[in-house]
């Protein structure tokens, strides 16, 4: 078993909560791929208000993607597809600025001062 990153753990916990609500199904493959932009789910129209409010209470905002009927043993049920965006992990930024001796500012030579003064760049 591989270790899940924080985003994948959040997706797994959210998927478990959604499955426990009833009337909603997670359609994304878990563990959620790092390249996947959102967790996809399907909610029955009859349970939409209750499930969407429960997801909002958890701190997530489901976004409607479109109508997609749910196939059920009793027939076709009216349902809609939703996405819940999960924040991507930020890539650490490497500090590659020049440090030390090369970063020290050397005094300007007389020749350079004259050049800059001639072109009006130095007073």
- For the chain, which residues make up each domain, given as ranges? 6-85
Digit-coded pLDDT (tens) for 47-71: 999 999 999 999 999 999 999 899 9
What's the burial of 108, exposed, middle or buried (CB within 10 Å: 0-12/13-18/19+)? exposed
pLDDT of residue 53: 96
Architecture of the domain whose range is 6-85: 2-Layer Sandwich (3.30)
* pTM attached to this predicted model: 0.69
Separation CA 29–CA 36 (nearest Å): 10
The band of 102, judged by pLDDT with boundaries at 50, 70 and 90, is: low
């Amino acid at each position: 078993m591989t270790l899940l990153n924080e985003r994948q753990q959040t997706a797994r916990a959210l998927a478990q909560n959604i499955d426990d609500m009833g009337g909603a199904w997670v359609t994304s493959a878990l563990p959620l791929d790092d390249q996947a932009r959102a967790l996809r789910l399907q909610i029955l129209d009859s349970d939409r208000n209750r499930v969407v409010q429960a997801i909002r209470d958890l701190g997530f905002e489901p976004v409607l993607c479109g109508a997609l009927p749910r196939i059920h043993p009793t027939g076709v049920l009216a349902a809609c597809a939703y996405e819940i965006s999960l924040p991507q992990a930020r890539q650490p930024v490497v500090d590659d600025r020049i440090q030390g001796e090369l970063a020290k500012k050397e005094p300007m030579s007389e020749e350079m001062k004259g050049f800059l003064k001639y072109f009006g760049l130095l007073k």
